[in-house]
Structure 1
Amino acid sequence: MSTPTRSRLRAQPASLPPSAPSDGTRRRILETALQLFASRGYHDTSIRDLAKVLELQPSALYAHFASKEHVLAELVRIGHEAHHEALQTALKESAPEPRQQVRALVRAHTRTHALHPQLAVVVNEELYALTPELAAPAVALRDKSAALLAEVIERGVAQKSFSPPHPRVTAAAISAMGVRLPYWYEQGGALDVETLAELHAELALRMLGDGAAR
Protein backbone atom coordinates (compact mmCIF):
# COMPACT_ATOMS: atom_id res chain seq x y z
CA MET A 1 0.00 0.00 0.00
CA SER A 2 1.36 3.41 -0.97
CA THR A 3 1.88 6.01 1.76
CA PRO A 4 3.25 9.59 1.56
CA THR A 5 6.61 8.29 2.78
CA ARG A 6 6.75 5.48 0.22
CA SER A 7 5.64 7.81 -2.58
CA ARG A 8 8.45 10.21 -1.68
CA LEU A 9 11.01 7.40 -1.56
CA ARG A 10 9.95 6.29 -5.05
CA ALA A 11 11.49 9.44 -6.52
CA GLN A 12 14.85 8.95 -4.82
CA PRO A 13 17.72 6.89 -6.27
CA ALA A 14 18.53 3.68 -4.42
CA SER A 15 21.40 4.13 -2.00
CA LEU A 16 23.36 1.17 -0.67
CA PRO A 17 26.24 1.56 1.80
CA PRO A 18 29.82 0.98 0.57
CA SER A 19 29.89 -2.44 2.23
CA ALA A 20 27.21 -3.77 -0.16
CA PRO A 21 28.27 -6.24 -2.89
CA SER A 22 30.08 -4.54 -5.75
CA ASP A 23 29.37 -7.31 -8.28
CA GLY A 24 27.51 -5.72 -11.21
CA THR A 25 24.34 -7.78 -11.66
CA ARG A 26 23.96 -8.72 -8.00
CA ARG A 27 24.28 -5.09 -6.96
CA ARG A 28 21.80 -3.98 -9.65
CA ILE A 29 19.29 -6.50 -8.32
CA LEU A 30 19.74 -5.25 -4.76
CA GLU A 31 19.50 -1.58 -5.74
CA THR A 32 16.36 -2.16 -7.81
CA ALA A 33 14.77 -4.31 -5.13
CA LEU A 34 15.59 -1.69 -2.53
CA GLN A 35 13.79 1.01 -4.49
CA LEU A 36 10.77 -1.19 -5.18
CA PHE A 37 10.50 -2.59 -1.65
CA ALA A 38 10.85 0.92 -0.16
CA SER A 39 8.33 2.57 -2.49
CA ARG A 40 5.78 -0.24 -2.96
CA GLY A 41 6.40 -2.56 -0.04
CA TYR A 42 7.86 -6.07 -0.09
CA HIS A 43 4.55 -7.89 -0.39
CA ASP A 44 3.36 -5.64 -3.23
CA THR A 45 6.49 -6.28 -5.30
CA SER A 46 6.76 -9.50 -7.27
CA ILE A 47 9.73 -11.21 -8.86
CA ARG A 48 8.17 -10.30 -12.22
CA ASP A 49 8.08 -6.63 -11.19
CA LEU A 50 11.73 -6.79 -10.25
CA ALA A 51 12.71 -8.60 -13.45
CA LYS A 52 10.77 -6.12 -15.59
CA VAL A 53 12.58 -3.09 -14.17
CA LEU A 54 15.93 -4.89 -14.55
CA GLU A 55 15.01 -5.99 -18.10
CA LEU A 56 15.78 -9.59 -17.20
CA GLN A 57 13.84 -12.83 -17.36
CA PRO A 58 12.55 -13.85 -13.91
CA SER A 59 14.57 -17.06 -14.21
CA ALA A 60 17.77 -15.00 -14.56
CA LEU A 61 17.29 -13.59 -11.05
CA TYR A 62 17.48 -17.06 -9.54
CA ALA A 63 21.09 -17.36 -10.67
CA HIS A 64 21.88 -14.72 -8.04
CA PHE A 65 19.20 -15.18 -5.36
CA ALA A 66 17.16 -18.26 -4.48
CA SER A 67 13.96 -16.25 -3.99
CA LYS A 68 12.52 -12.78 -3.44
CA GLU A 69 12.78 -13.45 0.28
CA HIS A 70 16.52 -14.04 -0.07
CA VAL A 71 16.86 -10.65 -1.79
CA LEU A 72 15.08 -9.01 1.15
CA ALA A 73 17.20 -10.95 3.65
CA GLU A 74 20.37 -9.65 1.99
CA LEU A 75 19.16 -6.05 2.05
CA VAL A 76 18.15 -6.33 5.70
CA ARG A 77 21.51 -7.88 6.60
CA ILE A 78 23.41 -5.18 4.68
CA GLY A 79 21.47 -2.45 6.46
CA HIS A 80 22.03 -3.84 9.94
CA GLU A 81 25.68 -4.59 9.22
CA ALA A 82 26.39 -1.06 7.97
CA HIS A 83 24.59 0.40 10.98
CA HIS A 84 26.47 -1.77 13.47
CA GLU A 85 29.83 -1.01 11.86
CA ALA A 86 29.07 2.73 12.02
CA LEU A 87 28.27 2.47 15.73
CA GLN A 88 31.41 0.45 16.45
CA THR A 89 33.57 2.96 14.58
CA ALA A 90 31.95 5.84 16.44
CA LEU A 91 32.73 4.22 19.79
CA LYS A 92 36.33 3.50 18.86
CA GLU A 93 36.89 7.11 17.81
CA SER A 94 35.13 8.59 20.85
CA ALA A 95 36.54 9.55 24.21
CA PRO A 96 35.75 6.89 26.87
CA GLU A 97 33.48 9.15 28.95
CA PRO A 98 29.79 8.05 28.70
CA ARG A 99 28.52 11.48 27.62
CA GLN A 100 30.89 11.58 24.66
CA GLN A 101 30.13 7.98 23.75
CA VAL A 102 26.38 8.65 23.71
CA ARG A 103 27.02 11.66 21.46
CA ALA A 104 29.10 9.55 19.10
CA LEU A 105 26.59 6.68 18.97
CA VAL A 106 23.59 8.95 18.39
CA ARG A 107 25.36 10.91 15.67
CA ALA A 108 26.27 7.69 13.85
CA HIS A 109 22.76 6.29 14.31
CA THR A 110 21.26 9.48 12.88
CA ARG A 111 23.61 9.64 9.90
CA THR A 112 22.94 6.06 8.78
CA HIS A 113 19.17 6.58 8.82
CA ALA A 114 19.28 10.04 7.23
CA LEU A 115 21.72 9.12 4.45
CA HIS A 116 20.05 5.81 3.51
CA PRO A 117 16.30 6.39 4.03
CA GLN A 118 15.13 3.68 1.64
CA LEU A 119 17.31 1.07 3.31
CA ALA A 120 16.17 2.25 6.75
CA VAL A 121 12.50 1.82 5.79
CA VAL A 122 13.06 -1.64 4.32
CA VAL A 123 15.20 -2.80 7.24
CA ASN A 124 12.74 -1.62 9.88
CA GLU A 125 9.42 -2.35 8.18
CA GLU A 126 10.08 -5.48 6.14
CA LEU A 127 12.31 -7.49 8.49
CA TYR A 128 9.22 -9.24 9.83
CA ALA A 129 8.34 -10.60 6.39
CA LEU A 130 11.35 -12.93 6.68
CA THR A 131 11.33 -16.40 8.20
CA PRO A 132 13.16 -16.57 11.55
CA GLU A 133 16.01 -18.42 9.87
CA LEU A 134 16.59 -15.76 7.21
CA ALA A 135 16.07 -12.91 9.67
CA ALA A 136 18.51 -14.34 12.25
CA PRO A 137 21.74 -12.66 11.02
CA ALA A 138 20.09 -9.23 10.96
CA VAL A 139 18.37 -9.75 14.31
CA ALA A 140 21.71 -10.69 15.90
CA LEU A 141 23.29 -7.50 14.56
CA ARG A 142 20.32 -5.42 15.74
CA ASP A 143 20.64 -6.84 19.25
CA LYS A 144 24.39 -6.14 19.30
CA SER A 145 23.77 -2.54 18.22
CA ALA A 146 21.16 -2.04 20.93
CA ALA A 147 23.57 -3.50 23.48
CA LEU A 148 26.24 -0.91 22.60
CA LEU A 149 23.98 1.98 23.63
CA ALA A 150 22.56 0.10 26.63
CA GLU A 151 26.04 -0.59 28.00
CA VAL A 152 27.09 3.06 27.72
CA ILE A 153 23.89 4.22 29.41
CA GLU A 154 24.34 1.64 32.18
CA ARG A 155 27.89 2.82 32.77
CA GLY A 156 26.77 6.45 32.77
CA VAL A 157 24.10 5.70 35.39
CA ALA A 158 26.65 3.86 37.54
CA GLN A 159 29.00 6.86 37.33
CA LYS A 160 26.07 9.21 38.11
CA SER A 161 26.54 10.98 34.77
CA PHE A 162 22.98 10.04 33.78
CA SER A 163 19.73 9.81 35.70
CA PRO A 164 17.03 8.61 33.29
CA PRO A 165 13.64 7.66 34.77
CA HIS A 166 13.94 4.25 33.07
CA PRO A 167 17.17 3.36 31.20
CA ARG A 168 15.65 0.78 28.86
CA VAL A 169 12.69 2.97 27.87
CA THR A 170 15.01 5.93 27.35
CA ALA A 171 17.35 3.87 25.15
CA ALA A 172 14.38 2.81 23.02
CA ALA A 173 13.25 6.43 22.66
CA ILE A 174 16.74 7.52 21.62
CA SER A 175 16.86 4.80 18.98
CA ALA A 176 13.39 5.73 17.72
CA MET A 177 14.55 9.25 16.84
CA GLY A 178 16.77 7.82 14.13
CA VAL A 179 14.37 5.12 12.98
CA ARG A 180 11.64 7.70 12.31
CA LEU A 181 13.85 9.97 10.17
CA PRO A 182 12.85 8.55 6.75
CA TYR A 183 9.24 9.47 7.53
CA TRP A 184 9.88 13.20 7.76
CA TYR A 185 13.46 14.20 6.98
CA GLU A 186 14.60 15.11 3.47
CA GLN A 187 18.21 15.81 2.53
CA GLY A 188 18.95 19.06 0.80
CA GLY A 189 16.65 21.16 2.95
CA ALA A 190 17.47 23.80 5.53
CA LEU A 191 18.57 21.17 8.06
CA ASP A 192 21.76 19.38 7.03
CA VAL A 193 22.63 15.89 8.25
CA GLU A 194 25.45 16.94 10.58
CA THR A 195 23.31 19.57 12.30
CA LEU A 196 20.52 17.04 12.65
CA ALA A 197 22.93 14.50 14.14
CA GLU A 198 24.12 17.04 16.71
CA LEU A 199 20.54 17.97 17.62
CA HIS A 200 19.69 14.33 18.17
CA ALA A 201 22.78 13.92 20.37
CA GLU A 202 21.69 16.88 22.50
CA LEU A 203 18.16 15.52 22.82
CA ALA A 204 19.49 12.10 23.79
CA LEU A 205 21.60 13.54 26.58
CA ARG A 206 18.63 15.53 27.89
CA MET A 207 16.51 12.38 27.90
CA LEU A 208 19.23 10.72 29.93
CA GLY A 209 19.09 13.48 32.54
CA ASP A 210 22.51 14.87 31.69
CA GLY A 211 22.74 18.33 33.22
CA ALA A 212 25.77 19.10 31.07
CA ALA A 213 23.72 19.03 27.85
CA ARG A 214 23.12 22.49 26.43
Structure 2
Amino acid sequence: MPVVEAAAQAGRPLEFVLYWGKGPRAAIAAPDLACLDYLGQLAERVRQVYAPGAIFRLIFTDTHASLNGHPAEAMNAYFGAIDAAAQARGFASTRLSDVVAFASETGATATEEEPSGEILASLIACAAKWYRGEGSTEQGALDYHRMNMVEKRAVAAAFPEAIFVTFNGSEFRDLFPATMPIFYMYSLRRGVGVKPWFMTAQAVEQPAV
Protein backbone atom coordinates (compact mmCIF):
# COMPACT_ATOMS: atom_id res chain seq x y z
CA MET A 1 0.00 0.00 0.00
CA PRO A 2 1.64 3.29 -1.11
CA VAL A 3 0.48 5.22 1.99
CA VAL A 4 2.08 2.66 4.31
CA GLU A 5 5.27 2.51 2.22
CA ALA A 6 5.58 6.30 2.24
CA ALA A 7 5.14 6.44 6.02
CA ALA A 8 7.73 3.70 6.54
CA GLN A 9 10.25 5.42 4.27
CA ALA A 10 9.78 8.69 6.15
CA GLY A 11 9.84 6.96 9.54
CA ARG A 12 6.56 8.55 10.61
CA PRO A 13 3.48 7.03 12.27
CA LEU A 14 0.70 5.57 10.18
CA GLU A 15 -2.23 7.97 10.17
CA PHE A 16 -5.84 6.75 10.41
CA VAL A 17 -8.93 8.98 10.21
CA LEU A 18 -12.51 7.94 10.84
CA TYR A 19 -15.94 9.50 11.11
CA TRP A 20 -17.58 9.54 14.54
CA GLY A 21 -21.27 10.29 14.44
CA LYS A 22 -24.11 11.30 16.75
CA GLY A 23 -27.05 9.09 17.61
CA PRO A 24 -29.95 9.41 20.06
CA ARG A 25 -27.73 9.67 23.15
CA ALA A 26 -26.34 13.01 24.39
CA ALA A 27 -24.00 11.34 26.87
CA ILE A 28 -20.99 9.09 26.40
CA ALA A 29 -21.69 5.46 27.33
CA ALA A 30 -20.18 1.98 27.48
CA PRO A 31 -20.41 1.28 23.71
CA ASP A 32 -18.41 4.43 22.94
CA LEU A 33 -15.68 3.52 25.43
CA ALA A 34 -15.58 -0.05 24.15
CA CYS A 35 -15.09 1.21 20.60
CA LEU A 36 -12.34 3.64 21.63
CA ASP A 37 -10.59 0.82 23.49
CA TYR A 38 -10.91 -1.41 20.43
CA LEU A 39 -9.25 1.29 18.32
CA GLY A 40 -6.59 1.58 20.99
CA GLN A 41 -5.91 -2.15 20.73
CA LEU A 42 -5.41 -1.74 17.00
CA ALA A 43 -2.98 1.11 17.60
CA GLU A 44 -1.06 -1.07 20.05
CA ARG A 45 -0.83 -3.93 17.53
CA VAL A 46 0.59 -1.49 14.99
CA ARG A 47 3.17 -0.30 17.54
CA GLN A 48 4.25 -3.87 18.22
CA VAL A 49 5.32 -4.37 14.60
CA TYR A 50 6.11 -0.80 13.56
CA ALA A 51 8.07 1.38 15.99
CA PRO A 52 6.68 4.82 14.93
CA GLY A 53 3.21 3.49 15.75
CA ALA A 54 -0.11 4.90 14.59
CA ILE A 55 -2.10 8.11 14.93
CA PHE A 56 -5.89 7.91 15.12
CA ARG A 57 -7.96 11.01 14.39
CA LEU A 58 -11.71 11.09 14.96
CA ILE A 59 -13.70 13.35 12.64
CA PHE A 60 -16.88 14.32 14.47
CA THR A 61 -19.65 14.49 11.89
CA ASP A 62 -21.36 17.62 13.19
CA THR A 63 -22.71 18.31 9.71
CA HIS A 64 -24.57 14.99 9.67
CA ALA A 65 -25.85 15.52 13.22
CA SER A 66 -27.29 18.90 12.26
CA LEU A 67 -28.90 17.43 9.14
CA ASN A 68 -30.49 14.68 11.26
CA GLY A 69 -32.07 17.25 13.55
CA HIS A 70 -29.92 16.91 16.68
CA PRO A 71 -29.89 20.06 18.86
CA ALA A 72 -26.51 21.79 18.99
CA GLU A 73 -26.37 21.53 22.79
CA ALA A 74 -26.78 17.75 22.79
CA MET A 75 -24.33 17.38 19.90
CA ASN A 76 -21.67 19.50 21.59
CA ALA A 77 -22.07 17.67 24.90
CA TYR A 78 -21.68 14.27 23.26
CA PHE A 79 -18.77 15.18 21.00
CA GLY A 80 -17.06 16.97 23.88
CA ALA A 81 -17.24 13.85 26.06
CA ILE A 82 -15.98 11.62 23.24
CA ASP A 83 -13.16 14.06 22.55
CA ALA A 84 -12.00 13.92 26.19
CA ALA A 85 -12.08 10.11 26.19
CA ALA A 86 -10.26 10.00 22.84
CA GLN A 87 -7.54 12.37 24.01
CA ALA A 88 -7.05 10.24 27.13
CA ARG A 89 -6.19 7.38 24.76
CA GLY A 90 -3.79 9.46 22.71
CA PHE A 91 -6.18 10.12 19.81
CA ALA A 92 -6.68 13.42 18.00
CA SER A 93 -9.97 14.86 16.78
CA THR A 94 -11.55 17.52 14.60
CA ARG A 95 -15.01 18.43 13.33
CA LEU A 96 -16.14 17.64 9.82
CA SER A 97 -17.40 21.20 9.34
CA ASP A 98 -13.86 22.46 9.98
CA VAL A 99 -12.41 19.96 7.51
CA VAL A 100 -14.86 21.12 4.84
CA ALA A 101 -14.02 24.77 5.58
CA PHE A 102 -10.30 24.01 5.24
CA ALA A 103 -10.84 22.24 1.93
CA SER A 104 -12.89 25.15 0.64
CA GLU A 105 -10.07 27.56 1.48
CA THR A 106 -7.61 25.36 -0.42
CA GLY A 107 -9.86 25.15 -3.47
CA ALA A 108 -11.08 21.54 -3.14
CA THR A 109 -14.49 21.32 -4.76
CA ALA A 110 -17.05 18.63 -5.49
CA THR A 111 -18.84 17.80 -8.69
CA GLU A 112 -22.50 16.85 -8.69
CA GLU A 113 -22.92 13.09 -8.41
CA GLU A 114 -26.23 11.27 -8.42
CA PRO A 115 -26.46 8.29 -6.05
CA SER A 116 -26.91 4.85 -7.56
CA GLY A 117 -30.22 3.12 -6.91
CA GLU A 118 -28.63 0.77 -4.38
CA ILE A 119 -26.86 3.54 -2.47
CA LEU A 120 -30.00 5.68 -2.39
CA ALA A 121 -32.12 2.76 -1.15
CA SER A 122 -29.59 2.10 1.65
CA LEU A 123 -29.47 5.78 2.62
CA ILE A 124 -33.26 6.02 2.69
CA ALA A 125 -33.39 2.98 4.97
CA CYS A 126 -30.85 4.63 7.30
CA ALA A 127 -32.73 7.94 7.18
CA ALA A 128 -35.95 6.15 8.16
CA LYS A 129 -34.19 5.10 11.39
CA TRP A 130 -32.25 8.23 12.30
CA TYR A 131 -33.37 11.27 10.28
CA ARG A 132 -35.33 13.79 12.37
CA GLY A 133 -34.71 16.85 10.23
CA GLU A 134 -37.13 18.80 8.08
CA GLY A 135 -38.77 17.22 5.06
CA SER A 136 -39.12 13.59 4.02
CA THR A 137 -36.69 10.79 4.72
CA GLU A 138 -36.06 10.58 0.96
CA GLN A 139 -35.03 14.24 0.87
CA GLY A 140 -32.90 13.71 3.96
CA ALA A 141 -31.13 10.82 2.24
CA LEU A 142 -30.49 12.90 -0.88
CA ASP A 143 -29.17 15.81 1.21
CA TYR A 144 -26.92 13.40 3.10
CA HIS A 145 -25.51 12.02 -0.16
CA ARG A 146 -24.90 15.52 -1.50
CA MET A 147 -23.03 16.46 1.68
CA ASN A 148 -20.91 13.34 1.49
CA MET A 149 -19.81 14.13 -2.04
CA VAL A 150 -18.32 17.40 -0.74
CA GLU A 151 -17.01 15.92 2.50
CA LYS A 152 -15.19 12.96 1.00
CA ARG A 153 -13.12 15.33 -1.16
CA ALA A 154 -12.52 17.61 1.81
CA VAL A 155 -11.20 14.72 3.92
CA ALA A 156 -8.92 13.56 1.10
CA ALA A 157 -7.56 17.09 0.73
CA ALA A 158 -7.00 17.55 4.47
CA PHE A 159 -5.44 14.13 5.13
CA PRO A 160 -3.73 13.02 1.91
CA GLU A 161 -1.34 10.65 3.71
CA ALA A 162 -3.95 8.93 5.90
CA ILE A 163 -5.95 5.71 5.78
CA PHE A 164 -9.73 6.13 6.04
CA VAL A 165 -11.34 3.82 8.60
CA THR A 166 -15.04 2.97 8.52
CA PHE A 167 -17.50 0.75 10.37
CA ASN A 168 -19.67 0.66 7.23
CA GLY A 169 -19.52 -2.09 4.65
CA SER A 170 -17.99 -1.81 1.20
CA GLU A 171 -21.42 -1.21 -0.34
CA PHE A 172 -20.99 2.41 0.83
CA ARG A 173 -17.61 2.81 -0.88
CA ASP A 174 -18.86 5.70 -3.04
CA LEU A 175 -19.35 7.81 0.10
CA PHE A 176 -15.71 7.53 1.13
CA PRO A 177 -12.68 9.46 -0.20
CA ALA A 178 -11.84 8.07 -3.63
CA THR A 179 -8.10 8.69 -3.35
CA MET A 180 -7.61 7.25 0.14
CA PRO A 181 -7.13 3.59 1.07
CA ILE A 182 -10.12 2.28 3.03
CA PHE A 183 -9.86 0.08 6.10
CA TYR A 184 -13.13 -1.68 6.93
CA MET A 185 -13.34 -2.82 10.53
CA TYR A 186 -15.73 -3.92 13.26
CA SER A 187 -16.76 -1.34 15.84
CA LEU A 188 -16.41 -3.04 19.24
CA ARG A 189 -14.94 -6.45 18.54
CA ARG A 190 -14.96 -9.08 15.83
CA GLY A 191 -18.48 -9.68 14.57
CA VAL A 192 -19.94 -6.36 15.79
CA GLY A 193 -20.51 -3.77 13.07
CA VAL A 194 -23.10 -1.49 14.70
CA LYS A 195 -21.76 2.02 15.26
CA PRO A 196 -21.41 2.76 18.97
CA TRP A 197 -23.28 6.08 18.84
CA PHE A 198 -26.39 4.25 17.66
CA MET A 199 -26.27 1.78 20.58
CA THR A 200 -28.12 2.23 23.84
CA ALA A 201 -26.02 2.89 26.93
CA GLN A 202 -26.44 -0.73 28.06
CA ALA A 203 -25.91 -2.33 24.65
CA VAL A 204 -22.41 -3.75 25.13
CA GLU A 205 -22.64 -7.51 25.37
CA GLN A 206 -19.80 -9.70 26.49
CA PRO A 207 -18.70 -12.46 24.08
CA ALA A 208 -19.86 -15.94 24.97
CA VAL A 209 -17.41 -18.12 26.90
**TM-score bracket for this pair, using the shorter chain length:** under 0.3
TM-score (norm 1): 0.26
TM-score (norm 2): 0.27
Bigger proportion of residues as strand: 2
Bigger proportion of residues as helix: 1
Report 1 or 2 for greater relative contact order, CA contacts < 8 Å, sequence distance ≥ 6.
2
Larger Rg: 1
